[in-house]
Amino acid sequence: MQKLPGNFETYDETRKAGFLKVKELKESGKRVIGTFCSYVPCEIIYAADAVPCGLCASSEEPIPEAESVLPRNLCPLIKASYGFALTDKCPYFYYSDLIVGETTCDGKKKMFELLNEIKETYVLKLPNSRDYPEALKEWRSEIIRFKEKLEDFYGITITEDKIREAIRMKNKEREVMTEYLSLGKLYPAAISGYEMGSRTDAAGFSFDIEERCKTFAARTEELKQYWEEHIKGTTSDRPRLLVTGCPNMGVRDKIIKAVEELGADCVVIDTCNGIRTQLDKVEETGDVYDALAKKYLNVTCSVMSPNQPRFEEMGRLIDEFRVDGVIEVILQACHTFNIESYNVKRYVTEEKGLPYLGLETDYSQADKGQIATRLGAFLEMLG
Ligand code: BJ8
């Protein structure tokens, strides 16, 4: 990829700047809710005049201490998130008034029981399938219970008007984010996968949604203009990759950065910290709870069984982004993504006729060299 304009603050810099922002927010009396998952309907949080703050951790630093309580052979995302809470080293956890979890994977839901001993953790009961008639109804009721929980917790009333306002605001953000995360559709790509990942993850540490939208819209324009002036009409022999699987913020450097340095472009990131959660909007008319239930039950995480929409969405992304190969990131001991990877490989290779590489890894640097070798061999295969 040609050199793109305007280097951005690193993920670590933004995370540190966010420490100060969350402290200031709390001191100004703002409500903060810690969240762990894309299934949490954050519109309800905004409607409570609170801000959601993502707590999924990406650092190996607190893992040894987490292992004094949790088993070693557990997903690094779960261990790191719990470790930060246990060691009181995460200001985002510290300043959260309440934590919201959800019954996704077994590891997370059992960890939430222990987390609740450190700070109150409310767990949304997510159905583990979309394919039975009551699933949507149950999830709708669960969203209403969550609203009631926040009303009790803060002693407030959350009106449907407030929820509708939050739906519109979040939809606007989804539009802006989808445009930014679709820059990889251009040929040659107008953005690196590393930038997409770093920027979207860092955005979680900036709490003003309007400011976030402005920043992403401006960056999209800047990159589009650069592409028009300097890249359009040129050719590229860099393979175009789709990255799927578990959230990859803790392994971004050793996989996404590494493969791009080796000569590929990660044009689309089909994960919870990528485009996956931005594509579907919430209906703005009709019953707000129906609309939220529909949107959030359709998140295509492997915790859903069966999970056919994931394949349909992946197929569309492969075609629209003109993808040459797929890399799947599987965090160690993530059984749902690991087992589903068999079907992903089958889908990618047999139905789409593309090469597939599955990488099972954790947050340590121990396998960095081995991963680089496998990425190199994969790119050679892609020609
Ligand atoms: S909707 S991807 S954010 S659960 S990687 S903790 S599944 S063992 S992070 Fe996730 Fe919500 Fe799904 Fe997205 Fe468990 Fe797997 Fe770990 Fe995971």
Angle formed at CA 147 by CA 128 and CA 98, multiple of 5 degrees: 85
Instruction: Tell me, using a 6 A CB cutoff, whether residue 336 lines ligand 1.
Output: yes
Residue 155's pLDDT is what? 98
Q: Are 328 and 344 in contact (CB under 8 A)?
A: yes
Instruction: Tell me, using a 6 A CB cutoff, whether residue 246 lines ligand 1.
Output: yes
d(CA 95, CA 227): 41
Distance 55 CA to ligand 1 centre (A): 12
Residue 56's pLDDT is what? 94
Instruction: Tell me, using a 6 A CB cutoff, whether residue 40 lines ligand 1.
Output: no
Distance 269 CA to ligand 1 centre (A): 15
Instruction: Tell me, using a 6 A CB cutoff, whether residue 104 lines ligand 1.
Output: yes
Instruction: Tell me, using a 6 A CB cutoff, whether residue 307 lines ligand 1.
Output: no
Instruction: Tell me, using a 6 A CB cutoff, whether residue 303 lines ligand 1.
Output: yes
User: DSSP character for 75?
Assistant: -
Whole-angstrom CA distances from 273 to 240, 248, 354 are 19, 7, 23
d(CA 149, CA 155): 10
Structure tokens of 361? 């890894």
Whole-angstrom CA distances from 73 to 77, 108, 258, 332, 342 are 12, 13, 26, 8, 21
Residue 21's pLDDT is what? 86
Instruction: Tell me, using a 6 A CB cutoff, whether residue 223 lines ligand 1.
Output: no
Q: Facing residues of 32 across strands?
A: 51
Residue nearest to atom 17 of ligand 1 (CA): 246
Burial of 270 (0-12, 13-18, 19+ CB in 10 A): buried
Place of tokens 């060691």: 87
d(CA 119, CA 241): 40
Distance 293 CA to ligand 1 centre (A): 19
Residue 18's pLDDT is what? 80
E-strand spans in 175-319?
240-245, 265-270
Alpha helices in 105-257, H assignment, sequence order: 106-115, 135-154, 160-181, 193-203, 209-226, 252
Residue 277's pLDDT is what? 87
Residue nearest to atom 15 of ligand 1 (CA): 334
Distance 249 CA to ligand 1 centre (A): 12
- Which has the closest alpha carbon to 303: 332, 334, 329, 336? 336
Strands 265-270 and 240-245, bridge-based pairing: parallel
Instruction: Tell me, using a 6 A CB cutoff, whether residue 247 lines ligand 1.
Output: yes
Output the pTM of the full model: 0.94
Instruction: Tell me, using a 6 A CB cutoff, whether residue 334 lines ligand 1.
Output: yes
d(CA 82, CA 87): 9
Distance 286 CA to ligand 1 centre (A): 30
Instruction: Tell me, using a 6 A CB cutoff, whether residue 100 lines ligand 1.
Output: no
Per-residue pLDDT tens over the stretch 137-149: 999 999 999 999 9
Dihedral sign (CA 356, 362, 363, 367): negative
Instruction: Tell me, using a 6 A CB cutoff, whether residue 75 lines ligand 1.
Output: yes
Q: Facing residues of 102 across strands?
A: 124
Distance 222 CA to ligand 1 centre (A): 33
- State which H helix or E strand residue 356 sits in: strand 356-361
> Helix, strand or coil for residue 301?
coil
Instruction: Tell me, using a 6 A CB cutoff, whether residue 39 lines ligand 1.
Output: yes
Residue 383's pLDDT is what? 77
Q: What is the pLDDT along the chain (383 residues), one digit of tens a residue?
A: 555 655 456 667 777 778 888 899 999 999 999 999 999 999 999 999 999 999 999 999 999 999 999 999 999 999 999 999 999 989 999 999 999 999 999 999 999 999 999 999 999 999 999 999 899 999 999 999 999 999 999 999 999 999 999 999 999 999 999 999 999 999 999 999 999 999 998 988 889 999 999 999 999 999 999 999 999 999 999 999 999 999 999 999 999 999 999 999 999 999 998 998 898 999 999 999 999 999 999 999 999 999 999 999 999 999 999 999 999 999 999 999 999 999 999 999 999 999 999 999 999 999 999 999 999 999 999 97
Distance 374 CA to ligand 1 centre (A): 24
Instruction: Tell me, using a 6 A CB cutoff, whether residue 11 lines ligand 1.
Output: no
Residue 206's pLDDT is what? 87
Residue nearest to atom 12 of ligand 1 (CA): 301
